[in-house]
Amino acid sequence: MYKVSATQLTDVLNTLAGTMDVFLPIRKDGQTNFGLYAEGVQADFDTLKTVKPPKEFFLPQSESLYKGVVDGKDIHIEPAAFADRPFVVFGMRGCDVLGMEILDKVYLGEPVDRFYEARRGHGCVVALACGRPASTCFCKPFGVDASDPQADVTAWLCGQYLYLEPVTERGRQLTHKLEPFLQDADAEDVAEYRQEIRERLEALPYNNLSLDALKDADMLEVFNSPVWDSVCDACIACGTCSYVCPTCQCYDIKDYNTGDGAIRYRTWDSCMYSDFTLMAHGNPRKTQKERFRQRFMHKLVYHPSTAGGQLSCVGCGRCVNKCPSSLNIVKIMKSLGVS
Amino acid sequence: MQITGEQTFTPLITAFCCNWCSYAGADLAGTSRLAYPAEVRIIKVPCSCRINPLFVLRAFQKGADGVIICGCHPGDCHYIMGNYYARRRMTLLFSLLDFMGIERGRTHLEWVSAAEGAKFAATMSGFAENIHKLGKNRRLEDLRCKSS
Amino acid sequence: MQEQLRILAGKMLADGRAARVLGWKRTDFETAPEPSFFTAQDDLSELVYNKYCAANLSGFMIGAGKRDGVTVVFLKPCDTYSFNQLVKEHQIDRAKAYVVGVSCGGNAKVEEMEDVGWLERCLVCTKHDHVVYDELVLDESLSRPEAQDRFGGVTRLEGLQSLERYEFWQGELSTCIRCNACRNVCPACNCKKCVFDSAKYDTAAKANVTTFEEQLFHIIRAYHVAGRCTDCGECARVCPQDIKLQLLNRKIIKDINELYGEFQAGQDTETLGPLTAFNADTDAEPSIVHTRG
């Protein structure tokens, strides 16, 4: 384990930015989102959760797949280039790291998504322990240790130091770049801080949810459960929950007419939208109840059934925090028997 | 048409003309051999009140540097009051665009009757001149449509 | 007041005058009550009313009006304007609604479940009285936060240079994630199929791919409710990125007030809206935009 004086943090970031793109939480007008670091930009590591999850650096909200350019009577197809520039996402929280693991199962499983694979291959993740977890957090039931998040590098901002512990080979290469700033440190140095975090987590209302009720859930039984009839009454069918979710993975493919050709691009989609999975024959889920159910069936039943029981939720609590109608996945899990 | 740089800037101007007055006014300008800039592309609409704000924005998206709307003079609307509605709508739209920092000169509304071929030509020339001064539309452009 | 509402709702359900009650339901967090339909008297112990009940329930009445029976709905003063506007637009079946006007002392802004002060809309509130109700449940002890100038933000922006305004909006709108919460929560935004969802047009988009699309969505969203927006402030409240959407809506309201006379949408159910009316002789030409400073 290494440590860097917090006063040298800017030098550390500048050094990294010299060889790769650095994305970190930046506060603007009262909201924090991950953004590209440049000299002079103030990083915000105090805010616990960014509005948008950092999955966007591996799965951008929209990305071009290819262009069709009209040339006389021909149409040339120009495929979009794969990512080839190394980058680091600095300050990802433990829940978001687990979110990447879930996305990996989908996008790196067969058939492999080459765009995602290229980004994953060039991206390094520095995970930051959560000094002040919030009341909406519930990552522990999903196996996340917010005091020791596992990514390429684990980091703790504690006292006057930033502690860094490389976990993977890529992480070691990253810390190697920072050698001039690093001092040796001991795991003991952050032990107290970690203990503090764990105690704070214990005091949170959702920290000890038991997910057992979902383990052996019968797919059809949950699907046909009467709870769906009323639980979505307050849903206004916006996409906030999907777009702030670190594990939501659905996308839509669209064409855009540029006048001299077309761009085929994909964008994040939300199952809450009336045109989600719209096909030539119409929409398979005609009512909001069905669309609402889809979101939670996917997260709590369908995904686990294909991913060895792993739920497609990481307990980040963003939906708890942001839903305009105060709906959220905890409420749904509870109505399905979770206590 | 190839736009090769700022020096040879040829603006693209979309003119929405109502079928009954302004389009006929444009016709008269043509048959009277009055010159007006070739960069003006006319889109015929049944009435000035047919123009949805989306039309104006979409024109900018697809490459227009200026959008001008022409309709019958107040009181002359073929549908009696369509242009009165259009007048309020476009006032609020132009004001909102201005509020969002889009240059004021990029949007304009002018009443042109079927008899006013000369006014049509003069209006278009004046508007085109203004757009030349403003330069390319940068604040309300869709980069995807500017590939060439 | 909460207790009074529970008793009233209980009576309405018990004697069969109402099929359901639309109110706010207790959740795990005091600061996040959920809009909810109550049909059983036993559930009414979950009905809450406090300063966190910010959700404007009038939009839900569009759907409720299509169900059998009367729906009791609790509306704060500002919500009654939205309700009236919807009645005017024939979106709500007035006969199937029993409106209970409730006093409001302002709603709290909530971040991470913490109370962080007042909602912006409550700081500039001008709608102090209910414009439609069947019954009132008032609490005179509630006091409102001190009122500020509603158009102050718009005026400040108007005073900037064009380029500064452009940069301000680029900064605001570039954070938009296109969740459509502002559109969907808006009582006035009730088109069955929105142009931004319709597969028939290539305006349908689930992300702002370019800065143009950010502008397009927000201009059209604000403009489409021009003359119908009651300034209930729900769009700004629900925005996950805290974009100052109220400025767009209020700019239009301010223009309407200045050019066509003071108008408050939802004040009544008869007056023609400013964009469905005109004055042939006195209406300004659009070129007034050039001279208004």
To the nearest whole Å, the CA of C133 is away from the closest chain A CA by: 23
Q: How much is the mean pLDDT over chain B?
A: 92
Q: What is the mean pLDDT of residues C175-203?
A: 91
Q: Which of B6-15, B115-124, C210-219, C274-283 bottoms out in mean pLDDT, i.e. has the lowest?
A: B6-15
Query: Over the range B35-63, which residues count as b (16 or more CB within 10 Å of their CB) and which as e?
Result: ebbebbebeebebbbbbbbbebbbbbbeb
Residue contact B147–A258, C-beta within 8 A: yes
Window 16-75 of B: residues touching A by CB (8 A cutoff) are: 62-63
Asked if residue B101 is part of any domain, the answer here is: yes
Asked if residue B6 is part of any domain, the answer here is: no
Asked if residue B145 is part of any domain, the answer here is: no
Determine phi and psi for A216, rounding to 5 degrees: -110, 30
List the pLDDT tens digit at each of the 339 positions of chain A: 999 999 999 999 999 999 999 999 999 988 999 999 999 999 999 999 999 999 999 999 999 999 999 888 999 999 999 999 999 999 999 999 999 999 999 999 999 999 999 999 999 999 999 999 999 999 999 999 999 999 999 999 998 999 999 999 999 999 999 999 999 999 899 999 999 999 999 999 999 999 988 888 889 999 999 999 989 999 999 999 999 999 999 999 999 988 888 999 999 999 999 989 988 898 899 999 999 999 999 999 999 999 989 999 999 999 999 999 999 999 999 998 887
ipTM of the complex: 0.93
The owner of tokens 């030409």 is: C285
Q: Say whether pLDDT at C144 is over 90.
A: no
Identify all chain C residues contacting B94, using CB atoms and an 8 Å cutoff.
Answer: 286, 289
Q: What's the pLDDT band for C200 if we cut at 50, 70, 90?
A: confident
The owner of tokens 């001299």 is: A260
d(CA A22, CA C36): 44
Q: Closest by alpha carbon to C180, among A165, A240, A123, A38?
A: A240
Q: What's the pLDDT band for B7 if we cut at 50, 70, 90?
A: low
Q: Using beta carbons and an 8 Å cutoff, which residues of B are at the interface with C?
A: 53-54, 57-58, 60-61, 74-75, 81, 84-85, 87-104, 107-109, 139-144
Sequence letter at residue A29: D
Question: C87-98, pLDDT tens digit by residue?
Answer: 999 999 999 999
Q: What is the mean pLDDT of residues C62-86?
A: 95
Instruction: Please give the pLDDT value at position B148.
Output: 47
d(CA A37, CA A20): 10
Q: Say whether pLDDT at B3 is over 60.
A: no
Q: What is the mean pLDDT of residues C163-188?
A: 95
The owner of tokens 């929209």 is: A62
d(CA A301, CA A220): 10
Instruction: Please give the pLDDT value at position A13.
Output: 94
Question: B28-57, pLDDT tens digit by residue?
Answer: 999 999 999 999 999 999 999 999 999 999
C-alpha count within 13 angstroms, C-beta hemisphere, residue C205 = 24
Q: How much is the mean pLDDT over chain C?
A: 94
Question: B133-144, pLDDT tens digit by residue?
Answer: 999 999 999 888
Contacts of C127 (CB under 8 A, 6+ apart): C77, C78, C80, C81, C230, C264
Instruction: Please give the pLDDT value at position C291.
Output: 84
Dihedral of alpha carbons C267, C270, C272, C273, sign: positive
Task: Find out whether C106 and C144 touch, Cβ atoms under 8 Å.
Answer: yes
Q: What is the mean pLDDT of residues B97-124?
A: 96
Determine phi and psi for A300, rounding to 5 degrees: -100, -20
Task: Find out whether C176 and C238 touch, Cβ atoms under 8 Å.
Answer: no
Residue contact B81–C209, C-beta within 8 A: no
d(CA C21, CA C13): 8
- Whole-prediction pTM: 0.94
Task: Find out whether C55 and A325 touch, Cβ atoms under 8 Å.
Answer: yes
For an interface test with B, the pick among C212, C288, C292 (most B C-beta atoms closer than 10 Å) comes out as: C212
Instruction: Please give the pLDDT value at position C189.
Output: 94
Q: What is the mean pLDDT of residues C242-266?
A: 96
Q: What's the pLDDT band for B4 if we cut at 50, 70, 90?
A: low
Domain residue limits, chain A: 2-202, 212-335
> Distances from the Cα of B30 to the Cαs of B46, B119, C189, in angstroms?
20, 12, 44
Number of domains forming the structure of chain B: 1
The CATH number of residue B86's host domain is 3.40.50
Q: What is the mean pLDDT of residues C138-154?
A: 90
Instruction: Give the domain extent around B58.
Output: 11-136
* Structural element, H or E, at residue A73: none
Total Cβ atoms within 10 A of residue C279? 13
CA angle B8, B10, B12 (to 5 degrees): 160
Residue contact A31–C113, C-beta within 8 A: no
